[in-house]
C-alpha cells in the first residue's frame, strides 16, 4: 500500500467506529465514499439513504441510478470518479442532515478532499453546497441561484480547484423539470473534465477554460 492508500484505509476504519454524532445510532453500515483516490473529479452529496445504508456504498439507490446515468451517457464511468457525502451515516427516515451533523462529519470530508486532491469538485444539492462553499469563503445563496457556474478557488491548500454546484439528482426524481437542468450542468462538468484529463501535465497546466477566461478569476469564472 502506498501512503495515500494507507490514509484512505485509516479514514474508512475511523468512519466505521465513529460516534461523533447521533447518526451512528441509526446506521447499518457507514458510507465513507468510494472511487479512485487520485481521481480528478470528486462529487459530494448529502447523506446515505436506505440502500446506501444497507450496502455501505454511496449513490446505489434511486438517486444514485440517475446520478450514474448522468455520468455514463457522457462517457464518464462511475468507477473513475470519487463519490462521498457530507454525512456518512443514514439519517433516520431519510431526514435531512443538520448543520451539527455535517460539522461532526467534516473531519472526514476535509480529509477526503485533501487525499483525493481533485481538480474538479462538484457539490450535489444544498447541504454539500453550503458546507463546501463556506469552506471556500463564498457565500451560499441556495442551489437554484448558485448552480451551473464555475468557481476557481484555493481550497484546503489545494490550488486552482474548480468548484461547481448543481442540484442533487434526487430533486429530479420528484421534479422532472430539474432533469434538463442537471443534463446541462453535467454537460459543463464533462467538458471541463475532458479538457483536464487530456491535459495530464499537472495542476498548473492551463486548461481550455483558463485559456478562454485568463487567470484573473479567484472566485466566479
Ligand atoms: N443521496 C446522497 O446524497 N448520497 C447518497 O449516497 C445517496 C443518496
**Shortest-distance atom of ligand 1 to CA 60:** 7
Nearest to 96 by CA among 28, 31, 23, 18: 23
Question: 161 C-alpha to center of ligand 1: Å?
Answer: 23
Rg (alpha carbons) of the chain, rounded to whole number: 17
Q: Given pLDDT bands bounded at 50, 70 and 90, which one contains residue 198? A: confident
pLDDT band for position 186 (cuts 50, 70, 90): very high
The answer as to whether 106 is a domain residue is: yes
What band does 173 get if pLDDT is binned at 50, 70 and 90? very high
In a domain, 219, yes or no: no
With the most atoms of ligand 1 within 8 angstroms of its CB, the residue from 30, 59, 97, 123 to mutate is: 59
220 part of a folded domain: no
207: CA distance to ligand 1 center in Å?
30
Buried b (16+ CB within 10 A) or exposed e, 177-216: ebbebbeebbeebbebbeebeeeeeeeeeebebbeeeeee
Cβ(85) – ligand 1 distance below 6 Å: yes
Q: Is residue 29 part of a domain?
A: yes
Evaluate: CB of 59 within 6 angstroms of ligand 1.
yes
Q: Return the H-helix or E-strand segment holding 189.
A: helix 177-198
Given its phi and psi angles, is residue 137 left (phi above 0), alpha (psi -120 to 50 degrees) or beta?
Answer: left
Is residue 139 within 8 Å of 185, Cβ to Cβ?
no
Do 125 and 168 contact (CB within 8 A), yes or no?
yes
Give domain status of residue 191, yes or no: yes
Q: What is the pTM of this model?
A: 0.92
- Number of Cβ within 10 Å of residue 53's Cβ equals 22
- Is residue 49 situated within a structural domain? yes
* Residue 88 · residue 52 · CB < 8 Å: no
- The C-alpha atoms of residue 70 and residue 49 are separated, in whole angstroms, by 19
Lowest mean pLDDT among 45-49, 170-174, 212-216: 212-216
Question: Rounded to an integer, what distance in angstroms lies between the CA atom of residue 113 and that of residue 117?
Answer: 6
CA distance 170 to 61: 10
Using a 6 Å cutoff on CB, does residue 63 contact ligand 1? yes
In testing the pocket of ligand 1, which one of 23, 167, 170 has its CB within 8 Å of the most ligand atoms? 170
* CA-45 nearest atom, ligand 1: 3
Q: In terms of residue numbers, what domain contains 88?
A: 3-211
Q: What is the CATH number of the domain that holds 156?
A: 3.40.470.10
Q: Is the CB of 52 under 6 A from ligand 1?
A: yes
User: Has residue 215 got a pLDDT over 50?
Assistant: no
Q: Are 197 and 36 in contact (CB under 8 A)?
A: no
Mean pLDDT, to the nearest integer, of 7-23? 98
Query: pLDDT-based confidence at 201, cuts 50/70/90?
Result: very low
Compare 118 and 1 and report the one with higher pLDDT.
Answer: 118
Q: Tell me: the pLDDT tens digits for 96-150? A: 999 999 999 999 999 999 999 999 999 999 999 999 999 999 999 999 999 999 9
CB 26 within 8 A of CB 94: no
Domain annotation covers residue 154: yes
Q: Is residue 216 part of a domain?
A: no
Average pLDDT of the residues of the chain: 93
Domain count, the chain: 1
How far apart CA 167 and CA 204 sit, in angstroms, is: 29
For residues 67 and 210, give the distance between their C-alpha atoms in angstroms, rounded to a whole number: 27
44-83 pLDDT per residue, tens: 999 999 999 999 999 999 999 999 999 999 999 999 999 9
Residue 205 has pLDDT above 50, yes or no: no
CA of 141 to the centre of ligand 1 (A): 22
Amino acid at each position: 500500500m502506498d501512503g495515500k492508500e494507507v490514509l484512505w484505509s485509516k479514514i474508512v476504519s475511523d468512519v466505521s467506529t465513529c460516534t461523533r454524532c447521533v447518526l451512528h445510532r441509526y446506521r447499518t453500515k457507514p458510507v465513507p465514499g468510494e472511487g479512485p483516490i487520485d481521481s480528478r473529479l470528486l462529487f459530494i452529496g448529502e447523506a446515505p439513504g436506505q440502500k446506501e445504508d444497507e450496502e455501505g456504498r454511496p449513490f446505489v439507490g434511486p438517486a444514485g441510478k440517475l446520478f450514474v446515468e448522468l455520468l455514463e451517457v457522457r462517457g464518464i464511468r462511475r468507477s473513475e470518479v470519487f463519490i462521498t457525502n457530507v454525512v456518512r451515516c443514514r439519517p433516520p427516515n431519510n431526514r435531512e442532515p443538520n448543520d451539527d451533523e455535517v460539522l461532526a462529519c467534516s473531519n472526514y470530508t476535509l480529509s477526503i478532499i485533501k487525499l483525493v486532491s481533485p481538480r474538479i469538485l462538484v457539490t450535489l444539492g444544498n447541504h454539500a453546497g453550503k458546507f463546501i462553499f463556506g469552506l471556500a469563503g463564498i457565500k451560499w445563496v441556495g442551489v437554484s441561484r448558485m448552480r451551473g457556474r464555475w468557481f476557481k478557488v484555493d481550497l484546503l491548500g489545494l490550488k486552482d480547484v474548480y468548484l461547481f454546484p448543481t442540484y442533487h439528482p434526487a430533486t429530479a426524481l420528484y421534479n422532472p423539470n430539474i432533469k434538463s437542468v442537471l443534463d446541462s450542468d453535467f454537460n459543463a462538468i464533462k467538458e471541463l473534465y475532458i479538457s483536464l484529463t487530456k491535459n495530464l501535465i499537472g495542476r498548473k497546466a492551463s486548461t481550455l477554460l483558463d485559456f478562454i477566461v485568463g487567470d484573473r478569476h479567484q472566485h466566479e469564472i
